[in-house]
Amino acid sequence: MLEAIEKLLILQDRDRKIRRVQAELANIEPERQTLKGKTASTQAALEAGKLRLRQTESDRKRLELEVEAKRQQIAKYANQQLQTRKNEEYKALSHEIDACKADIAKIEDQEISLMEQTEAAQKQLVGLTAEANEAKKHADSLVALLGDRETNLKKELATLQGDRESLATAVDQTTRGKYERLAKSKGDNVLVGVQHGVCGGCHMKLPAQSLVACQSHQEIVTCINCGRILFYTRDMTLAATD
């Protein structure tokens, strides 16, 4: 194989590895944000549970104050009954007292319902707290692993880029320039093998002179269709398939 082709193949392999590592690094932050998002959702559910509990407790206190106010009204009306001598006024006060007692009964029913809601909210809060803690613990562990992976990938990338610079310098400027230009449009497949008489990149049939030139290893040969650099190894079959 032509020495320049061998060097370019090694360079291409290094470029592929660099792009792979760069792609993995690019995925680190989205993965980190996804994990944080999951933690945020369980934390939001926990805060919502706390809010529900505070609301039911607040409603209970409000009802307790309402009951106390009604009882004070009853005491006031009862005191007025003791002072009045008018039968109609006495009956009216009795009616007000009965109305207050009825209101208290309704409020106490609401209090019972709120007590049940409070108990349910407390139980739910225990579960939400455990879930949020577990989610945070799990996410923190995975985020730490991502951090380690990111550090290792950055080290690997730095090593690969250093190697790449040395490898690129070893290729003559003209050939390297051709490779770099092709890499911008062809990506990972600048150098492609010849198999069954077709280009390994665009898969178009190659003329006989291109195949012979590849086999002779005397010069750099490019595909007349896509411009990729062609190479041939002994394990490849030049003969076209029917």
- Residue 136 shares a structural domain with residue 90: yes
Of 139, 120, 115, 171, give the one whose Cα is nearest residue 36.
139
Q: Is residue 72 part of a domain?
A: yes
Whether 242 is in a domain gets the answer no
Does residue 76 share a domain with residue 140?
yes
Question: What domain count does the chain have?
Answer: 2
Domain that holds residue 64: 13-169
Crossing angle for the helix pair 173-186 and 3-83, to the nearest 10 degrees: 40
- In a domain, residue 208? The reply is yes
What is the C-alpha to C-alpha distance for residues 164 and 160, in angstroms, rounded to an integer?
A: 6
Q: What is the pLDDT along the chain (242 residues), one digit of tens a residue?
A: 789 999 999 999 999 999 999 999 999 999 999 998 889 989 999 999 999 999 999 999 999 999 999 999 999 999 999 998 899 999 999 999 999 999 999 999 999 999 999 999 999 999 999 999 999 999 999 999 999 999 999 999 999 999 999 999 999 999 999 999 999 999 889 999 998 999 999 999 999 999 999 999 999 999 999 999 999 998 888 776 65
Question: Which CATH number covers residue 43?
Answer: 1.10.287.1490
